[in-house]
A and B are shown apart, each in its own frame.
Chain A
């Protein structure tokens, strides 16, 4: 479970998160949506411990967490096997827990789960963007995490690759029963993967509900987002300047 309580964060003078609170239960997927620069990725970074909040707190029921990054963030000096097995080789509590042959078995099983086989010896630069994204999924789930954070998992992918990635998010939710957060702009990803949606604007929740409610919502914020209208209560970062 993830409990995000009254969190505020400022970068210089810009308020990115403003007394933001939400909860994600085990087995639930929350989509955080909103225009660019509204604090979605900052919320993920605070949950993952990469950024400290100025105010408020985050409670997690497990430290076994992983994150799928927008641009995959594979380690480009390591091959695919070393990338996926990274936590087993480097994390103090996992280093001596498994033999190398067990790790090899786990890695190939996770790669198979994301539809990849016999690519262990390749380097990340030898893979397409979609394949890199799938490897990053395999790396994220290799330790069977209890919390999974997805930062724009389908950004920059073609529609078919996006559907494949969404299928993995759904499958992982069922298999791992993890508490998941998906930060995305894609309506199809929201519709297919999320149980609940919160919409952020200027660091605050301006709308929340289910994906079905989002599509039907008359609320001006939700309406503007769903129909991608320039006119409405929300200004993009460029317009706000």
Chain B
């Protein structure tokens, strides 16, 4: 009886929890979509100041670049480490660079770079705006006759769109060079042979899709993190919750978007 009661209670709790989670995520998505519509209107009406975009772009690029380079560089080394010995066994030495470049350009640089940027820039963006919200600074912007979304979110989204591709391109080069060291040590391949193999596997389309992914991810990271920060209310705990939610939700959005873009262009 107790077991049955417990099961019923537990299943009820799980269902309720899932329902709440889904409802919360749907609400959040609708909220973010409304902010996106406002941002697009601001851009079309040229209501976003160049000074704010440049400030945000500088913060976006400077804050995120070191971590993005480390993560993508080390990821390149790990992938090279894993594939090189296998490729040597299969006698496909000439294609090691090709495989590494394909993986790094198509997936690793945009995805791992995005994760680095979410951790460095997205989280601080969400925390900053959430703090402004709970300390009434956002209200002060509104009462001053300035639209807070236009002032706080639109420049960040535009900066994310433009600066992210440059970060990802630099990270891609670091990833490819990071991959060279294990390849050289395991398969004894020289730099020029490795680079030949890298360029052999790359198509123009790969580069364009990588840039597209970077621009879309940059936009989404700024939009999601700034919007979740903007939705915060309460106190210090709520700033922490908003920051965590921004990071988690951004990860999910980026992974799903990556799948959709890859599916659209490569299958």
Contact = CB atoms under 8 A, between A and B. Distances in A.
Band of interface residues on A: 20 to 34
Interface in B117-175: 128, 132, 135-137, 139-146, 151
A152 to B, nearest CB: 12
Contact of B145 (A69, A70, A91): A91
A48 B135 contact: no
A173 to B, nearest CB: 19
B145 A67 contact: no
A50 B143 contact: yes
Contacts of A86: 141, 144, 146
B143 A90 contact: no
B146 A90 contact: yes
Interface of B: 47, 128, 132, 135-137, 139-146, 151
A120 B204 CA distance: 52
A35 interface: no
B139 A69 contact: yes
A71 interface: yes
A67 B143 contact: yes
Given A87-B145, A90-B146, A91-B145, A50 B151 contact: no
Q: Please name the 10 residue pairs, one residue from A and one from B, whose CB atoms are nearest each other, closest first.
A: A73-B136, A73-B140, A90-B146, A67-B143, A91-B145, A87-B144, A69-B136, A48-B143, A73-B137, A50-B139
B140 A49 contact: no
A45 B128 CA distance: 23
A201 B146 CA distance: 33
Contacts of A70: 136
Contacts of B144: 66, 86-87, 90-91, 139
A65 B146 CA distance: 12
Contacts of A139: 140, 144
Nearest to A91: B145
B142 to A, nearest CB: 6
A73 B139 contact: yes
A75 interface: yes
A216 interface: no
B135 A73 contact: yes
12 contacts: A48-B142, A49-B142, A49-B143, A67-B140, A73-B139, A74-B140, A75-B132, A75-B137, A75-B141, A86-B146, A87-B145, A139-B140
A63 B139 CA distance: 16
Interface string A41-82: 000010011100000000000010111011101111100000
A90 B151 contact: yes
A86 B142 CA distance: 11
Nearest to A48: B143
A118 to B, nearest CB: 24
Nearest to A77: B128
B149 to A, nearest CB: 13
A71 B135 contact: yes
B146 A91 contact: yes
B136 A66 contact: no
B119 to A, nearest CB: 21
Contacts of A87: 144-146
Contacts of B136: 69-71, 73
B71 to A, nearest CB: 27
Nearest to A78: B137
B63 to A, nearest CB: 14
A91 B140 CA distance: 13
Contacts of B135: 71, 73, 76
Given A50-B142, A87-B146, 6 more contacts: A74-B137, A75-B141, A86-B146, A90-B144, A91-B146, A149-B143
A71 B137 CA distance: 10
A122 to B, nearest CB: 17
A75 B143 CA distance: 13
Nearest to B131: A76
A75 B140 contact: yes
B56 to A, nearest CB: 12
A67 B142 CA distance: 10
A63 B140 CA distance: 15
